[in-house]
C-alpha cells in the first residue's frame, strides 16, 4: 500500500513540475559572483576572512545547496573612508550580485546609497550601527546583532544595579555616535541618562585620551560605558589605569569590542589584562549546538599557519561565527532566488548613462535586475547555522537578540549572566526562556556576583562628589550659643555640630551627588536672626541667591534652619 502511495505522489509531483513553474525556471549558471569587503588586518577582519572562505568552500562542496551553481567570491580591503567606497564601487562594475560587508559602519553608510541605486544587497555581520537598519537603506541587511540591543542590555544592567547616570566614551564617527544615541534612548526608557558624552576623534592619541579621562574623573558619575574599536579601546584602559581610574568605586562597561579582542587575541599580554580587571563586557550570544561545536573544533585547522600576535593562535570570535552564517544565508537566498525564476542579469543605469563621457566611467556601474527579488529572499531565509536560528523579524533584525554578560577576572573571563530581548537579565541561557511567557518583573531579573575594579565584590555606589559641578550654597547661622548644634570651627571655613553631622549623614545616603558649600551667616558676635535669614532668601539676596534645583536640598536647608532656631 505504501509503495503505491509513494508512486502516486511521485507521478503527481512530476506532473506539477512538468506543467508548472519549474519548467519556466532558466538553467542555473555555473557561477554566481559575490564580493566581500573586509579590513584584513583588524581584529574582526582577520577572523572573518577565514570564516567567509570556509563558508564558501563548504557551500561549494555541497551541490544540494545551490543546485550545482558555485559561489565565486572576491575579497577586497575595506579601507576606511573614501577608499572603502571606491573598493565597493569596483564590485559594482562587475557582475557581483551581493556583497558580504562592508566591515565598518562608516563605509556602510556611504555605500548603502550606491547599493540602493544599483540594487545590490549588502549583508554585513559587523556594521551594527542602529541607524543602518533604517528603512532609508533597504539594501543593507544586518546579519549580526543590531547595537540597539547591546545598548538595551547596558541600560538594563545600569538599572539593575540601581545607578542613574552614566558617562559615555566613544569614537566620534557614525558607529560611535549612533550607538551612543541608542544608549541614551534606552537609558531614558528606564529613567536613567548619560550625564556626560565624551567623544574621542576616531584616531585619538594617548594625549587626547588622557585629557578626556581627566575631565571624566572630575565629574560625578563613576559608571563609564566605552563604545569604541578593538584597535584603540585598550589604550583607554591603559590611560585609565595610569590615572588611577581602574580602582574601587569605578564601574566600566564596554560594548562587545572588548570581548572580541579577548576571544581573538587570547591570552592578551599581561599588561593589557591588568588594565581591564573588573570590567564588564558584552558578547553576542550564540547557543551551544552540534553545528557550532563542529565549527569551533575545525577552527585550529582552518587557521593553521596564521597567528594573532606573537606566537598565539588566532581565536574564533563571535564575528567569525556570524560571518560564516552570512555566507550560508546568502547561499540559501540565492537558491530560493533561482527557484523563483530569478536570473542574473544587469542593465545600465539610465541616470548614470547620462553622465557618459567623463573620465570616471560611472556608466560602467550596473543595476542588478534581480536585486529586489534577491533581497526579499534574503529577508525570508529560515535556517539554522553555527549562530543558532537565522531568521529575520519583520523589522529586518535577526530574531532573538541576546548577549552574554562577561566579567573580566584574572587571566580570563567569567560569564555572570545573559541578556535577552525576550526576558531581560537572567542566569539561565535565553533559549530556555523562549518557551515561557516573557517575564520582565524586577524579581525575575538576575545576574551572578561581579568582581568590580579594585578587586572588590561590593557594588560601587556609582557616583562621587564632583570636582567641577556647581555647589549648593547653604547659609548656616554663625551662632555664639549652643555651639554643639552648629558652629564654625574657629580659624577655618568648616562647620561642626549635631546639625552638620545629621546633614552629612543624610546627604551620603542620597543616590546622587549633591556638592555643597556651607556659608556662615551672622556677625559671629551675636546669634543671627533666622527669620531674617529666610527673608533674605525670598528677597533673593546675592549671597544666598542660588537656584535650589533639587528639592532634597531645600528640605535640608530647613532642617538645619529649624534645628538651629529650636535651640
Ligand atoms: C597589520 O597590523 C600589524 C600590527 O597590528 C602591522 O605591523 C602591519 O603592518 C599591518 N599590515 C597591514 C597590511 O596593514
Ligand atoms: C531574466 O529575467 C528577466 C525578467 O526578470 C527577463 O526579462 C529576461 O528575459 C530573463 N533572462 C533570461 C536569460 O532568462
Ligand atoms: C552598459 O554600457 C556600457 C557602455 O557604457 C556597455 O559597454 C555595457 O555593455 C552596457 N551594459 C549593459 C548590461 O547593457
Ligand atoms: C522555519 O523552519 C523551522 C524548521 O527549521 C520551521 O519549524 C518553521 O515553521 C519555519 N518558519 C517559517 C516562517 O517558515
Ligand atoms: C525586542 O523586543 C521588543 C519588545 O519586547 C519587540 O517589539 C521587538 O520585536 C523585539 N526584537 C526582536 C528582534 O525580537
Ligand atoms: C516572573 O518571575 C517572577 C520571579 O521569578 C515570578 O514570581 C513571577 O510569577 C513571574 N511572572 C510571570 C508572569 O511569569
pLDDT per residue over 155-175, tens digit each?
A: 999 999 999 999 999 999 999
Looking at residue 256, its pLDDT comes to: 96
Grade residue 307 by pLDDT with cuts at 50, 70 and 90: low
The SS3 of residue 122 is: strand
Residue 451 lies in a domain: no
DSSP labels, 140-180: EEE-S--HHHHHHHHHHHHHHTT--EEEEEEESSHHHHHHH
More confident residue, 313 or 433: 433
The residue ranges of DSSP E strands in 410-465, in sequence order, are 412-420, 424-426
DSSP-H helix ranges across 340-481 = 350-353, 371-379
- Residue 133 and residue 14 share a domain: yes
Helix (H), strand (E) at residue 284: strand 280-284
- Residue 420 and residue 361 share a domain: no
Atom number of ligand 5 nearest to Cα 398: 13
Ligand nearest to the CA of 440: 6
DSSP letter at 99 equals E
The pLDDT tens digits for 24-33 are 567 899 999 9
Grade residue 3 by pLDDT with cuts at 50, 70 and 90: very low
Looking at residue 22, its pLDDT comes to: 44
- Of 185-189, 441-445, 507-511, give the lowest mean pLDDT range: 507-511
Residues with CB under 6 A from ligand 6: 437, 439, 441, 443-444
User: Do 139 and 375 contact (CB within 8 A), yes or no?
Assistant: yes
Query: Using a 6 Å cutoff on CB, does residue 397 contact ligand 5?
Result: yes
Query: Using a 6 Å cutoff on CB, does residue 26 contact ligand 2?
Result: yes
DSSP labels, 311-368: TPBPPPPHHHHHHHHHHHHHHHHHHHHHHTT----EEE-HHHHTTBTBTT-GGG-EEE
Alpha carbon distance 408, 263 (integer Å)? 12
- Residue 214 and residue 135 share a domain: no
Alpha carbon distance 69, 27 (integer Å)? 10
- Residue 241 and residue 219 share a domain: yes
Residue 342 lies in a domain: yes
Looking at residue 92, its pLDDT comes to: 84
Pocket perturbation via mutation, ligand 5, pick of 144, 420, 421 by most ligand atoms within 8 A of CB? 421
DSSP-H helix ranges across 345-428 = 350-353, 371-379
Interval 496-522 mean pLDDT = 82
Among the candidates 391, 425, 456, a domain finishes at 391
Interval 335-359 mean pLDDT = 84
The pLDDT tens digits for 63-111 are 999 999 999 999 988 777 788 888 888 888 888 999 998 998 888 998 9
Residue 91 lies in a domain: yes
Nearest to residue 541, comparing CAs of 496, 489, 475?
Answer: 475
- Residue 339 and residue 252 share a domain: no
Residue 464 lies in a domain: no
Backbone angles phi, psi at 186, to 5 degrees: -70, -35
Residue closest via CA to ligand 6's atom 14 equals: 439
Query: Using a 6 Å cutoff on CB, does residue 399 contact ligand 5?
Result: yes
Alpha carbon distance 503, 489 (integer Å)? 16
Grade residue 287 by pLDDT with cuts at 50, 70 and 90: very high
Which residues lie below 8 Å from residue 198, measured CB to CB, with a gap of 6+? 167, 168, 169, 170, 212, 215, 216
The pLDDT tens digits for 407-432 are 999 988 999 999 999 999 999 999 99
Residue 418 lies in a domain: yes
- Residue 9 and residue 112 share a domain: yes
Atom number of ligand 3 nearest to Cα 363: 5
- Residue 262 and residue 201 share a domain: yes
Ligand nearest to the CA of 374: 2
Residue 491 pLDDT greater than 70, yes or no:
yes
Ligand nearest to the CA of 424: 5
CATH number at residue 270: 3.40.50.2300
Looking at residue 356, its pLDDT comes to: 67
DSSP labels, 496-536: ESHHHHHHHHHHHHSSS---EEEEEES-SSSPPPHHHHHHH
Query: Using a 6 Å cutoff on CB, does residue 76 contact ligand 5?
Result: no
Grade residue 16 by pLDDT with cuts at 50, 70 and 90: very low
Looking at residue 511, its pLDDT comes to: 60
The pLDDT tens digits for 221-249 are 999 999 998 888 999 999 999 999 999 99
**What size, in residues, is the chain?**
567
Pairing outcome for strands 424-426 and 280-284: unpaired
Q: Which CA distances in Å does 237 have to 186, 273, 543? A: 25, 10, 43
What is the residue range of 419's domain?
147-291+401-444
- Residue 178 and residue 126 share a domain: no
Across 298-307, 315-324, 488-497, the highest mean pLDDT is recorded for 315-324
Helix axes 43-60, 290-302, angle to 10 degrees: 110
Residue 460 lies in a domain: no
Alpha carbon distance 84, 104 (integer Å)? 9
Ligand nearest to the CA of 393: 5
Q: Which CA distances in Å does 43 have to 46, 54, 172, 321? A: 6, 18, 20, 14
Which residues lie below 8 Å from residue 388, measured CB to CB, with a gap of 6+? 286, 287, 289, 292, 400, 431
Interval 512-540 mean pLDDT = 78
User: Do 240 and 212 contact (CB within 8 A), yes or no?
Assistant: no
Ligand nearest to the CA of 438: 6
Pocket perturbation via mutation, ligand 3, pick of 355, 357, 364, 370 by most ligand atoms within 8 A of CB? 364
Residue 454 lies in a domain: no
- Residue 419 and residue 286 share a domain: yes
Query: Using a 6 Å cutoff on CB, does residue 369 contact ligand 2?
Result: yes
Backbone angles phi, psi at 239, to 5 degrees: -65, -40
Looking at residue 270, its pLDDT comes to: 87
Residue 191 pLDDT greater than 90, yes or no:
yes
Mean pLDDT over each residue of the chain, to the nearest integer: 86
Residue with cell 537572567: 426
The tally of domains found in the chain comes to 3
- Residue 141 and residue 162 share a domain: no
Backbone angles phi, psi at 425, to 5 degrees: -85, 135
- Residue 99 and residue 27 share a domain: yes
The residue ranges of DSSP E strands in 42-152, in sequence order, are 70-77, 96-100, 122-124, 140-142
Q: How far is the CA of 446 from the centre of ligand 6 (A)?
A: 12
CA-based angle 260:296:273, to the nearest 5? 30
- Residue 239 and residue 174 share a domain: yes
Report CA torsion sign: 296, 302, 304, 309: negative
Residue 313 pLDDT greater than 70, yes or no:
yes
Looking at residue 84, its pLDDT comes to: 82
Residue 296 lies in a domain: no
The pLDDT tens digits for 542-554 are 544 443 333 334 4
Among the candidates 391, 409, 433, a domain finishes at 391
Nearest to residue 52, comparing CAs of 74, 67, 33?
Answer: 74
Backbone angles phi, psi at 512, to 5 degrees: -140, 170
Looking at residue 467, its pLDDT comes to: 67
The pLDDT tens digits for 213-227 are 999 998 889 999 999
Pocket perturbation via mutation, ligand 3, pick of 348, 353, 357 by most ligand atoms within 8 A of CB? 348
Looking at residue 308, its pLDDT comes to: 52
Residue with cell 574599536: 229
Nearest to residue 222, comparing CAs of 456, 517, 513?
Answer: 513
The SS3 of residue 552 is: helix
Residue with cell 549588502: 122
Amino acid at each position: 500500500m505504501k509503495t503505491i502511495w509513494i508512486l502516486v505522489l511521485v507521478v503527481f509531483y512530476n506532473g506539477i513540475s512538468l506543467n508548472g513553474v519549474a519548467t519556466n525556471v532558466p538553467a542555473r549558471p555555473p557561477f554566481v559572483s559575490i564580493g566581500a569587503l573586509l579590513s584584513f588586518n583588524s581584529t574582526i577582519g582577520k577572523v572573518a576572512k577565514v570564516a567567509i572562505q570556509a563558508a564558501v568552500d563548504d557551500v561549494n562542496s555541497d551541490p544540494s545547496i545551490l543546485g550545482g551553481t558555485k559561489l565565486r567570491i572576491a575579497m577586497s580591503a575595506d579601507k576606511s573612508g573614501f577608499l572603502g567606497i571606491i573598493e565597493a564601487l569596483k564590485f559594482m562594475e562587475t557582475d557581483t550580485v551581493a556583497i558580504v560587508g562592508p566591515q565598518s559602519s562608516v563605509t556602510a553608510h556611504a555605500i548603502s546609497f550606491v547599493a540602493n541605486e544599483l540594487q545590490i544587497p549588502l549583508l554585513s555581520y559587523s556594521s551594527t550601527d542602529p541607524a543602518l537598519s533604517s528603512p532609508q537603506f533597504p539594501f543593507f541587511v544586518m546579519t549580526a546583532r543590531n547595537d540597539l540591543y547591546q545598548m538595551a542590555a547596558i541600560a538594563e544592567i545600569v538599572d539593575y544595579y540601581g545607578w542613574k547616570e552614566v558617562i559615555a566614551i566613544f569614537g566620534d564617527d557614525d558607529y560611535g555616535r549612533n550607538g551612543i544615541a541608542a544608549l541614551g534612548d534606552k537609558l531614558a526608557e528606564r529613567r536613567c541618562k548619560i550625564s556626560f558624552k565624551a567623544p574621542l576623534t576616531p584616531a585619538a592619541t594617548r594625549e587626547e585620551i588622557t585629557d578626556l579621562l581627566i575631565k571624566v574623573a572630575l565629574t560625578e558619575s563613576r559608571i563609564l560605558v566605552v563604545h569604541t574599536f578593538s584597535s584603540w579601546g585598550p589604550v583607554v584602559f591603559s590611560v585609565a589605569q595610569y590615572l588611577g581610574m581602574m580602582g574601587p568605586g569605578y564601574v566600566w562597561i564596554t560594548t562587545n569590542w572588548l570581548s572580541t579582542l579577548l576571544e581573538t587575541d587570547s591570552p592578551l599580554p599581561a599588561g593589557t589584562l591588568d588594565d581591564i580587571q573588573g570590567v564588564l563586557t558584552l558578547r553576542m550570544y550564540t547557543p551551544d549546538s552540534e553545528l557550532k561545536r563542529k565549527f569551533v573544533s575545525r577552527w585550529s585547522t582552518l587557521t593553521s599557519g596564521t597567528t594573532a600576535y606573537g606566537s598565539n593562535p588566532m581565536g574564533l570570535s563571535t564575528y567569525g561565527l556570524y560571518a560564516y552564517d552570512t555566507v550560508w544565508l546568502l547561499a540559501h537566498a540565492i537558491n530560493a532566488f533561482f527557484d523563483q525564476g530569478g536570473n542574473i542579469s544587469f542593465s545600465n543605469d539610465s541616470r548614470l548613462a547620462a553622465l557618459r563621457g567623463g573620465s570616471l566611467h560611472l556608466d560602467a556601474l550596473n543595476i542588478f535586475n534581480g536585486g529586489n527579488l534577491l533581497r526579499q529572499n534574503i529577508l525570508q531565509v529560515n535556517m539554522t547555522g553555527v549562530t543558532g536560528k537565522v531568521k529575520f523579524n519583520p523589522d529586518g533584525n535577526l530574531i532573538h537578540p541576546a548577549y552574554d554578560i562577561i566579567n573580566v577576572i584574572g587571566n580570563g573571563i567569567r560569564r555572570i549572566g545573559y541578556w535577552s530581548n525576550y526576558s531581560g537579565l537572567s542566569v539561565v541561557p535565553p533559549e530556555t526562556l523562549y518557551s515561557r511567557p516573557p517575564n520582565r518583573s524586577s524579581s525575575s531579573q538576575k545576574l551572578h556576583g561581579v568582581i568590580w575594579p579594585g578587586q572588590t565584590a561590593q557594588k560601587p555606589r556609582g557616583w562621587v562628589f564632583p570636582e567641577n559641578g556647581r555647589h549648593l550654597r547653604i547659609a548656616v547661622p554663625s551662632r555664639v550659643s549652643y555651639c554643639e548644634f552648629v558652629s564654625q570651627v574657629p580659624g577655618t571655613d568648616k562647620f561642626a555640630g549635631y546639625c552638620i553631622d545629621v546633614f552629612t549623614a543624610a546627604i551620603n545616603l542620597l543616590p546622587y551627588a549633591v556638592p555643597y558649600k556651607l556659608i556662615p551667616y551672622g556677625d559671629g558676635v551675636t546669634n543671627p536672626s533666622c527669620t531674617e535669614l529666610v527673608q533674605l532668601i525670598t528677597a533673593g539676596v546675592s549671597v544666598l541667591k542660588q537656584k535650589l534645583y533639587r528639592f532634597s536640598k531645600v528640605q535640608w536647608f530647613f532642617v538645619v534652619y529649624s534645628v538651629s532656631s529650636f535651640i
